Every structure is written in structure tokens, then in C-alpha cells.
């Protein structure tokens, strides 16, 4: 047998051993990465360790990794399937430290409450004949009753579970209410939720006005645009300020 034939045969045997090792290893299991043929000085040591720890490979047999062996297309398919868990019954490997502690089963959960907020400084005035000011991000009137609004962006198919307006209010004579609206292509709107008004006696400085009832909870971005608005009653001055509005929702990742 020529040297060329012996070399080719060695490559085939190494490839076959690696295929057997990969095929015998179940997805998702953990493996030791202490391969004797991959010393710490190997510049790819950390990468090989990560693959072994995640279960993508157990090496080429005999406890070795065979770092210089060729990889066939079928071996590459096994690697990629194990890494991405492409088979329907498999779960992909996830580095939880890089996704805020969530594991792979939680990345597309739809039962967790999320929120969207419009802060006071981002809310545009709807009343053109009333002047207003912004202080530390808060909106307030300087000449009379005024309303502010902002667009609300929620994922399609979400379900609204709560709506609230945060205000700074140090008087019982002025008040504000906030509402969540949906508007169709013809400009027709419908109120989805509304908060009670502030301004009762002994109102604290910072108040969260939260609605207890959501009239229309479903988000359908193909049919509607969504806005939140707050109306500040009671005349001019900085006694009442709009801090933010918040929409909480579930049902979409």
C-alpha cells in the first residue's frame, strides 16, 4: 500500500470514528472537554470546550477530539442539528447568562406580562390654543386645560391587561384623567380603557391612576392604530404634571 493510500485510509478511519461518536451522543447531554489532544495552549481550547460542554460533540473516540481531522458534510449536519436542535423534539442549547437568566423554553413565552410606556416629555399636545411647558420630562399646562397624546406600539395579537397614568399632583382643585384608544383607517375611534381622575382631597404628590376595567383588550395592528392620551383639567400652572402612561399586556413574545 502506497503512502498516499495509507494517508487516505487514515483519514477515512478518523472520519468514521468521529461519525460514530457524534451519532451515539444524545442531544442536550453534557460532556467532558478534557481532551488530551487539546491542551490549554491550543488557541481553540475555549471554543472546543464550549462545544463539548453544550453536547455538540464528544470528540472522535478514545477520549480525543482530533482537532486537525477533516469534517465531512454529514458530520457538519450532526454538529448543526445538535447546536440548533433542528429536530422537532429537541431543545436548543442556550447560554442563560446571555439571555437574562432565561432558558430556551422561556425565550418565546407568551404568558409573561410586559409593558409599553410613554413618558410625559414624549407626549405631544393635542390642544393647539393652550401653552405648555416641560420640566424634568414632565408635561404641564401654562395657560389652561390641555390634553397630551402619544402613539402606543404593542405586538400584534397581544392582550391589554392594564392601563395607568402617572402624575404629580399637589392640589385637590386640579385633576387629570388618561385613556387608551384605538383608531381605524377611517379615523373612527373607540375607548379601550380609562383611569379615574386625580384631584381628590389628600391626593399624594406622585399618583398612579390605574384602570380596573379594560373595555377592549385585543390588539389588532392590521385594523387599528393605538394611542394614549391624558387630559389635564383645572387651569394654568404647574400644580399638576403628567409623568407617563403605561400599558401592560400579555399574549405576544
At 246, give phi and psi (nearest 5°): -135, 135
- Residue 79 pLDDT: 80
- Residue 207 pLDDT: 85
Question: What residues contact 164, with CB distance under 8 A and at least 6 apart?
Answer: 178, 195, 208, 209, 210, 211, 245, 246, 248
Query: What is the per-residue DSSP string for 119-175?
Result: EGGGPEE--TTS-EEEETTEEEESSS-EEEEEEE---TT-EEEEEEEEEEE--SS-E
Q: How far apart are CA 139 and CA 148, in angstroms?
A: 8
Q: Are 191 and 180 in contact (CB under 8 A)?
A: yes
With CA atoms as reference, report the closest residue to 60 among 27, 116, 22, 8. Answer: 22
- Residue 230 pLDDT: 93
- Residue 19 pLDDT: 46
Cell numbers 494517508: residue: 7
Question: What residues contact 84, with CB distance under 8 A and at least 6 apart?
Answer: 92
Q: Are 180 and 160 in contact (CB under 8 A)?
A: yes
Residue 61 has a CB neighbour count (10 Å cut-off) of 16
Alpha carbon of 29 to those of 54, 82, 192, 215, 222: distances in Å? Answer: 7, 10, 49, 49, 44
- Residue 240 pLDDT: 82
- Domains of the chain by range and CATH? 3-106 (no CATH), 114-250 (2.60.120.260)
- DSSP label at 97? G
Q: How far apart are CA 198 and CA 209, in angstroms?
A: 7
Give the three-state DSSP class for 71. coil
Tens of pLDDT along the chain (253 residues) come to 555 555 455 554 444 444 444 444 443 333 345 788 988 888 888 888 887 877 788 788 888 989 889 989 988 888 887 777 666 666 666 666 666 666 655 555 556 788 999 999 999 999 888 889 898 889 988 888 899 999 999 999 999 999 999 988 877 777 789 999 999 999 998 999 999 887 654 556 888 899 988 999 999 999 999 999 999 886 655 578 899 999 999 876 5
Q: How far apart are CA 30 and CA 52, in angstroms?
A: 7
Sign for the CA dihedral angle at 95, 97, 98, 104 comes to positive
- Residue 4 pLDDT: 52
pTM summary value: 0.56
Rounded to the nearest 10 degrees, what angle do helices 73-84 and 45-54 cross at? 70
Amino acid at each position: 500500500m502506497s503512502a498516499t493510500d495509507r494517508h487516505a485510509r487514515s483519514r477515512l478511519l478518523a472520519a468514521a470514528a468521529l461519525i460514530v461518536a457524534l451519532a451515539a451522543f444524545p442531544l442536550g447531554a453534557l460532556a467532558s472537554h478534557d481532551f488530551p489532544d487539546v491542551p490549554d495552549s491550543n488557541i481553540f481550547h475555549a471554543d472546543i470546550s464550549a462545544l463539548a460542554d453544550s453536547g455538540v460533540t464528544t470528540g472522535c473516540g478514545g477520549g480525543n477530539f482530533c482537532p486537525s481531522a477533516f469534517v465531512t458534510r454529514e458530520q457538519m449536519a450532526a454538529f448543526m442539528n445538535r447546536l440548533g436542535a433542528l429536530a422537532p423534539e429537541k431543545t436548543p442549547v442556550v447560554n442563560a447568562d446571555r439571555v437574562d437568566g432565561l432558558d430556551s423554553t422561556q425565550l418565546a413565552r407568551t404568558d409573561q406580562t410586559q409593558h409599553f410606556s410613554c413618558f410625559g416629555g414624549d407626549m405631544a399636545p393635542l390642544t393647539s390654543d393652550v401653552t405648555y411647558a416641560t420640566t424634568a420630562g414632565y408635561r404641564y399646562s401654562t395657560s389652561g386645560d390641555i390634553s397630551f397624546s402619544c402613539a402606543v406600539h404593542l405586538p400584534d395579537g397581544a392582550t391589554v391587561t392594564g392601563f395607568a397614568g402617572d402624575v404629580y399632583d399637589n392640589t385637590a382643585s386640579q385633576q387629570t384623567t388618561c385613556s387608551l384608544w384605538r383608531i381605524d383607517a377611517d379615523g373612527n375611534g373607540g375607548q379601550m380603557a380609562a383611569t379615574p381622575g386625580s384631584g381628590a382631597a389628600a391626593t399624594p404628590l406622585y399618583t398612579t391612576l390605574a384602570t380596573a376595567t379594560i373595555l377592549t383588550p385585543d390588539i389588532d395592528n392590521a385594523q387599528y392604530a393605538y394611542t394614549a392620551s391624558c387630559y389635564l383639567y383645572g387651569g394654568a400652572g404647574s400644580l399638576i404634571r403628567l409623568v407617563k402612561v403605561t400599558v401592560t399586556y400579555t399574549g405576544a413574545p
